[in-house]
Amino acid sequence: MATILPSPPKVGMVSLGCPKALVDSERILTRLRADGYAMSADYAGADVVLVNTCGFLDSAKEESLEAIGEAIAENGRVIVTGCMGNEADTIRARFPAVLAVTGPHQYEAVVGAVREAAPVPPSPFLNLVPDRDLKLTPRHYSYLKISEGCNHRCSFCIIPSIRGDLVSRRPDAILREAEKLVASGTRELLVISQDTSAYGVDLRHKTWPWKGHDVRAHMTDLARELGKLGGPENRPWVRLHYVYPYPHVDDVIPLMADGLVLPYLDIPFQHAAPKVLKAMKRPANETKVLQRIASWRAEVPDIAIRSSFVVGFPGETEDDFQYLLDWLDEAQLDRVGAFRFEPVQGAAANDLPGAMPEEIKEERYARLMEKTAAISAAKLQAKIGRTLDVIIDAADEEGGATGRSKADAPEIDGEVQLRDAQGLAGGDTVKVLIEDADEHDLYGVPVAA
């Protein structure tokens, strides 16, 4: 007589915020899957819905609250986790029906809340451990979190109060995870943390054995080992995010020249005017930064530098803002994002004098984006006629495809739109002749290698 298996409870997930939060969501779902839970792609099919919140800015908090409200309206059984989970009283005051609230990277607490809300029927056929972590990104690229927390105390940021001080993972543990990802089809590793350059400081840069040799808990050493995974014929793209411009970042540039790491740096400069940087409690030697950018480009001409900036910071004068625009003219950054300053509960910057009216923030934001769009357009125009390596993200049956060059991170940078791209699939890497460009994207056609 056949055994009728009990139906496992289904969990839905709404994941908000940055890639670091997305990794948290993947880890939570992996643990739940190991417990025998199934996943639901919609509210209707879920026995319980997890909302992984963002709490970095007030606008992000409001988006998180809206997501919680939608989940309650559509499903009714909601567990809240993530960065805004530290404000449980605020969440419960607005949504008293939430089943549980936990803070960031509190995986066991989240799993425990799900177990209580929707227990899995005991069954040896349901309580299985998946052979690899569940992923919320396409198969061909993966975020690789190397540390949690941050030791900086920037005046506009509350991340340390939410996620704590820097806690680095052991390099051998990171490399084992990366090796499994590459073996299962990952073609691009996106290295993330709150401060990638500080990786290993808390471990005093100790070494751990890996594949017959020792690897130091240090950004440079870790990046070198990641670039060697898969062997010469199957090396993944390794992309570094959230890199503060410490002096040892210079040591990563030779790895780019050798092809072990992508010629790409995501560096959150935030501003350039010395007075504003001081008020932000950020490094303020902007002249040296320009010199270093020039030296990086001398060694790796194709290096792409992306950054983000805050406009309308308290006390920012028109001269300060013009200083930033002039600095951008000289720096010629490849990719730029900008944020209008928002007071965030608990941030020291809220108490600084000289708060900017919203209309000035908007006007400066528009001017900065116009400036950086013009720089981006000129840089992309210069790529017309070149042949670039492109990783494919999506392809259709009509021969169209979308991909990214080594200068483009998923979701945040531009894309390469392809024609006559029959037979390609996500994760393929092809040579593409660039035929056209606009402010943000490239257009081309695959060519024989």
The whole-number pLDDT of residue 37 equals 85
The whole-number pLDDT of residue 122 equals 59
Can you tell me the distance from the alpha carbon of 286 to that of 20, in angstroms, rounded to the nearest whole number?
28
* pLDDT over 60 (residue 129): no
Closest CA to 105 of 65, 151, 171, 162: 162
Percent of the chain with pLDDT over 70: 93
Can you tell me the distance from the alpha carbon of 112 to that of 102, in angstroms, rounded to the nearest whole number?
10
Strand partners, 214: 209
Torsion of CA 257, 263, 265, 266, to 10 degrees: -170
* pLDDT over 50 (residue 345): yes
Statement to judge: residues 335 and 404 lie in one domain: no
Phi-psi region of 278 (alpha: psi -120 to 50; beta: other; left: phi over 0): alpha
In a domain, 5, yes or no: no
CATH of residue 166: 3.80.30.20
Q: What is the mean pLDDT of residues 87-108?
A: 86
Entry pTM: 0.76
Q: Residue 183: which pLDDT band, with cuts at 50, 70 and 90?
A: confident
Q: What is the mean pLDDT of residues 286-313?
A: 92
The whole-number pLDDT of residue 307 equals 95
Other beta carbons within 10 Å of 387: 14
The whole-number pLDDT of residue 1 equals 42
Torsion of CA 296, 300, 304, 308, to 10 degrees: -10
Can you tell me the distance from the alpha carbon of 222 to that of 235, in angstroms, rounded to the nearest whole number?
15
In a domain, 2, yes or no: no
Statement to judge: residues 394 and 376 lie in one domain: no
Statement to judge: residues 344 and 271 lie in one domain: yes
Report whether 35 contacts 111 (CB < 8 A). Answer: yes
To which H or E segment does residue 189 belong?
Answer: strand 188-192
* pLDDT over 80 (residue 114): yes
Statement to judge: residues 32 and 146 lie in one domain: no
**pLDDT digits over 9-59, tens only?**
899 999 888 887 888 888 888 888 877 788 888 998 899 999 999 877 778
* pLDDT over 70 (residue 394): yes
In a domain, 132, yes or no: no
In a domain, 128, yes or no: no
Other beta carbons within 10 Å of 178: 23
The whole-number pLDDT of residue 123 equals 53
Counted domains in the chain: 3
Q: What is the mean pLDDT of residues 408-434?
A: 93
* pLDDT over 90 (residue 346): no
CATH of residue 58: 3.40.50.12160
Instruction: Tell me the pLDDT of the chain averaged across its residues.
Output: 88
Statement to judge: residues 351 and 440 lie in one domain: no
Statement to judge: residues 183 and 275 lie in one domain: yes
Can you tell me the distance from the alpha carbon of 215 to that of 111, in angstroms, rounded to the nearest whole number?
33
In a domain, 273, yes or no: yes
Statement to judge: residues 84 and 203 lie in one domain: no
The whole-number pLDDT of residue 126 equals 42
The whole-number pLDDT of residue 57 equals 76
Statement to judge: residues 302 and 154 lie in one domain: yes
Q: What is the mean pLDDT of residues 103-111?
A: 79
CATH of residue 433: 2.40.50.140
Statement to judge: residues 232 and 369 lie in one domain: yes
Residue numbers of the domain that contains 32: 10-117
**pLDDT digits over 208-245, tens only?**
999 999 999 999 999 999 999 987 778 899 999 999 98
Statement to judge: residues 392 and 373 lie in one domain: no
Report whether 197 contacts 265 (CB < 8 A). Answer: no
In a domain, 198, yes or no: yes
Say how many CA atoms lie within 13 Å of 64 toward its Cβ: 31
Statement to judge: residues 314 and 425 lie in one domain: no
In a domain, 297, yes or no: yes
Percent of the chain with pLDDT over 90: 58
Q: Residue 284: which pLDDT band, with cuts at 50, 70 and 90?
A: low
Statement to judge: residues 203 and 323 lie in one domain: yes
* pLDDT over 50 (residue 131): no
Query: What angle, rounded to 10 degrees, do the helices at 286-299 and 318-331 form?
Result: 10
In the listed set 347, 381, 415, which residue is the last one of a domain according to the structure? 381
* pLDDT over 90 (residue 5): no
